[in-house]
């Protein structure tokens, strides 16, 4: 792992009324012991979680984010108190990444409703990360490695948390150009892929059937793809691939070695990309924010308030998120990037 022991990463505890503290405590003994991990959250609540569930308390340092004397966290019930705590924890972690030499942050899940209850109006953690890092070019990349074949699935969303009816309006050649550039940079810098093969989904059923059930492909998506092939001659761009067949080769590669699988997939809207990711890799998928000046990974699950405090939360996705952050940090170090 080279100089991985010099790498410093932060792990936020997320909404502490949910399963965040539990999955972090369960994950830490299972991850690569090759980086300095510092936790960010309320230390007293973490100790209470450790005692309540009989989990060993980590010896990793923690940056304490305090609660007021009259504030309490109600396990299983996300509210303004837990929302504000998770918001301030993420703010703290971002500040340390920007100013204190940390390579990145692994974020435990938060509840958007709890953020709203606390007066923090953000669609999610990604948007706060981008705002504090002062970036406008960023994307949500979902990464999952098959435990059967070791093949890695990488799916970037062109659009994220918007109503489905708005997708055709928001999708433009400019948006797709931005996302493709982010994906190619990530594949080459963070995953060491020299000549990437990328598949781009169509928007309509059967990619429009030559304009019979939608004209977006004919009117601008195919011309856009042709222009990008000229811009990136070293990249193989396939598409627009009919969405119902796009995920056949990843499914084969996930279960059996398949040479036709691509290095990256560009899905045009949220569920088009995430349904196959979660069907194939629910416990292994990691949400990665690309385009930030530091690494950000997150397990691909929510706060699970319904099982919080019961000691049954699985740490698999958190383990994958921490391990991926370490691997990305090592790769950037090898390549001479911060």
Q: In terms of DSSP H, where are the helices of the chain? A: 20-27, 43-53, 80-99, 112-117, 125-133, 167-170, 173-190, 216, 222-231, 243-246, 248-255, 270-281, 316-334
Collapse the DSSP code of 222 into the 3-class scheme (helix H, G, I; strand E, B; otherwise coil) and give the result: helix
161 marked as part of a ligand binding site: yes
Could you give the domains of the chain? 1-135+292-338 (3.40.718.10), 138-288 (3.40.718.10)
182 contacts 291 by C-beta, under 8 angstroms? yes
255 marked as part of a ligand binding site: no
Comparing CA positions, the residue from 256, 260, 286, 282 lying closest to residue 155 is 286
Tokens coding 64:
């304490």
pLDDT at 336 over 80: no
> Given this model, what pLDDT does residue 333 score?
87
Mention every residue, 6+ apart, whose C-beta is less than 8 A from residue 100.
none
Q: pTM score, two decimals?
A: 0.92
pLDDT at 161 over 90: no
pLDDT at 154 over 90: yes
189 marked as part of a ligand binding site: no
67 contacts 85 by C-beta, under 8 angstroms? yes
The span from the CA of 326 to the CA of 338, in Å, is 13
The span from the CA of 335 to the CA of 338, in Å, is 9
290 contacts 141 by C-beta, under 8 angstroms? yes
5 confidence band (pLDDT: 50, 70, 90): very low
231 marked as part of a ligand binding site: no
338 confidence band (pLDDT: 50, 70, 90): low
287 marked as part of a ligand binding site: yes
> Given this model, what pLDDT does residue 32 score?
84
Q: Are strands 295-299 and 286-290 parallel, antiparallel or unpaired?
A: antiparallel
**Mean of pLDDT values over 92-105:** 96
- Mean residue pLDDT across the chain: 94
Length of the chain: 338
pLDDT digits (tens, 9 = 90+) for 193-213: 999 999 999 999 999 889 999
185 marked as part of a ligand binding site: no
206 marked as part of a ligand binding site: yes
> Given this model, what pLDDT does residue 335 score?
78
> Given this model, what pLDDT does residue 337 score?
61
């Amino acid at each position: 792992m080279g100089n991985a022991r010099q790498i410093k990463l932060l792990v936020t505890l997320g909404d502490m009324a949910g399963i965040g503290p539990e999955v972090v405590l369960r994950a830490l003994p299972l991850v690569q012991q090759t980086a300095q991990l510092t936790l960010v959250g309320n230390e007293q609540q973490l100790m209470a979680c450790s005692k309540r569930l009989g989990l060993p308390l980590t010896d990793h340092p923690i940056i304490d984010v305090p609660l007021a004397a009259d504030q309490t966290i109600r396990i299983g019930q996300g509210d303004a108190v837990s929302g504000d705590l998770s918001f301030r924890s993420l703010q703290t972690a971002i500040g340390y990444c920007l100013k204190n030499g940390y390579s990145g942050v692994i974020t435990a899940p938060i509840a958007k409703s709890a953020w709203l209850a606390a007066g923090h109006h953000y669609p999610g953690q990604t948007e706060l990360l981008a705002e504090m890092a002062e970036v406008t070019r960023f994307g949500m990349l979902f990464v999952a490695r098959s435990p059967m074949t070791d093949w890695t699935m990488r799916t970037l969303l062109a659009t994220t948390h918007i109503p489905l009816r708005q997708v055709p309006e928001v999708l433009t050649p400019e948006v797709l150009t931005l996302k493709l550039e982010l994906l190619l940079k990530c594949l080459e810098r963070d995953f060491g892929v020299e000549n990437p093969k990328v598949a781009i989904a169509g928007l309509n059923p059967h990619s429009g059937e030559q304009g019979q059930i939608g004209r977006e492909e004919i009117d601008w998506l195919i011309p856009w793809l042709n222009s990008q092939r000229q811009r990136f001659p070293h990249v193989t761009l396939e598409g627009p691939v009919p969405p119902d067949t796009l995920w056949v080769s990843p499914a084969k590669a996930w279960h059996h070695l398949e040479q036709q699988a691509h290095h990256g997939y560009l899905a045009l809207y949220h569920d088009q990309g995430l349904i196959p990711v979660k069907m194939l890799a629910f416990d292994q998928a990691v949400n990665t924010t690309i385009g930030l000046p530091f690494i950000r990974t997150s397990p691909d699950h929510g706060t699970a308030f319904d099982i919080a405090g019961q000691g049954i939360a699985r740490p698999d996705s958190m383990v994958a998120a921490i391990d991926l952050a370490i691997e990305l940090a090592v790769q950037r170090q090898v390549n001479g990037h911060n």
